[in-house]
Structure 1
Amino acid sequence: MTEQETKKRCFIITPIGGERSDIRDALDGLLKNVLEPVLLELGFEDKDITVAHQMKDSGSINTQLITRIIEDELCIVNLTGLNPNVMYELAIRHAVGKPVVIIAENGTKLPFDIVDQRTIFYSNTMLGAVHLKEALSDMVENIISNPDHTPDNPIIKIIKDNAILDKIKSDGREHSELSLVLNKLSNLEKRIANTEKRKNTANINKSPEVDWVLEYKGNLDFQKILNSFSGNLDIFPYLTSEGENQKAVFRFNTYVSDEEIDYLLNLVIEQKVNFISFIRRKN
């Protein structure tokens, strides 16, 4: 294998902050203790791991930045703080359909249009750094092992849908085209409604550390549910005997409304498991 074939570059999209600011200190700690060690161990060279404020070449910084976002084999995006520049640069990366790893500090509430994107949430502690390194290493290694895989993201989904619509149109199946569009609009309205409910009822009665017990049959994607609540929910699966219904405790560590409980339940039902019961457990 030639040097050109093995060369890998990673651009890190992250809030930067001013010199000696809390944001810059957090970034430097994340780089030196987690991101760089993981990437170096997986075959990236130090000179090919870049953050915007480290760029030394002359010329337009924006041109260099966007070029790296478009061309690099990997981008790691830190959504902590939901910085507007970071969101814009993530959209560019999504548009080119190349691999991206999204990370965010616990408590980050992802916008509804990317809430279903796989995200590694971490705590800004020494133990949190250990867990982040493990999860990041697994995800990056999986990307490297599947170079021909086209990642899924909101922009790629739209492109694929448009391609389907073009095919339907060429086949003369206009009624199917309309059905697909209406279905997409309906799903979008539901997601917006759920987001608004959660935003407008965030502080309604209820107290922190409220437990709900779910009883079900089948396989649940707990990570997808956790991502939707961005660090405000813990899940503890029961160990059940073979043949018994599965159970899991959902513990909210912040204020939770009835609407948010309904939202969580809808996430469970959408996964098409055999739903049995969902009851509040008295503490």
Structure 2
Amino acid sequence: MKKVFCFVLMPFADEFTFVYELGIKPALDELSKKMDLDPKVERADERLAIKEDKVQEIVKFIKNSDLIIVDITGGNPNVLWELGFCHALKKNVIILAQSGEKIPFNIRTRDVLHYTFSIQGLDDMKKNLSRKLKNIIYEIQRSRSTLRFDEEIENLIYGVQEGLLSIDRDSILKNLAKNEINRLFGRVRGLEKGEFDLRNEKPNLEIIKYFCDYVRQLDTEECEYNTLSTYDFWKEITNEGTDFEYLMANIQAARYGAQIRRVFLIDGRKHPDENVKSDALFQKILEHHYNDTERYRDKIETRVFFSPCYEEDLQTYKNFGIWIKGAERILLRPEYEKGGRMLRTLFIYSNEQKLSVPSFQDNYNEIITYGTHFREIWNKSKKLDTKHFK
């Protein structure tokens, strides 16, 4: 026999015991024989009479039940709150109300089963309720065969929900979370159609979108972005010189008042004359930086450092960006394959107001270290000029 867990919510009053005993329970008992079911029925006041924290117990039962029967007769505030909670969880709900009951405005559009409080009325309610239950239980059984009700999947979904509770609504982590959920949503929807795209890295356009989203959040004069850039990074972020959206996002941030400082770490052995014109793509990248940011030189400072020990300096300082907005900081640290293609980017977050969180304190220390690296290179660098690319 298939188990179905039903939770009944109604006012804690003697009158509703008759509704429960003569209408609701018989309807489920009758259906159990016809559909080979083993219904487990719990009524809130029966189950929770000796519980001190009834609200938490009711919440637990609602979460764990397959279907909920709610009697809103009398407009009991507790029952209406519980109905709203059921709705938020998208639970299977049957709403009951005595005939003549004034239904709250936002519930009138729902399918409400009205009944008369009499022996005959409760018998009629039992028959009508049985029909409704049959349809809902059929849908429950069908749903149980899907991954939505797989215990492991439910635990993963619950874990995501718990993780979201730890992120403030106005945190800069909001966009990262939204992007990841949207990406997962799109891939799961693809599975519905029998499609799956297996890949080990984001396509260029997706990489560009992530970086642009974060730079565009630098929208006040209190924001900063300090970054040590490389040729490999700009080759990727511009899709080999065909898309300068990321640079435009930097310019947009500067228009809003953000201070952006960028140093290009360049191999001085490849370019001993401190000019990159021998590399057409690098020349194009520096030329765009020089020309496109001309109107915002007070906010976007671009420098170059032709390192005589490029490999050693790259190993020490790496390619990174430090994003600062108020108390929040993100270290963006791309990593590359041997061929120079971007493999992934690490986003390391901290919040000065939440350094009691151990991971935030560790992250903050790492960000401070990279800030020191940036100042060291900045002090060695020269302001970008036409002589560096023409």
Shorter chain as denominator, the TM-score bin is 0.3 to 0.5
Structure number with greater CO (CA < 8 Å, separation at least 6) is 1
TM-score, normalized by length of structure 2?
A: 0.34
Larger radius of gyration: 2
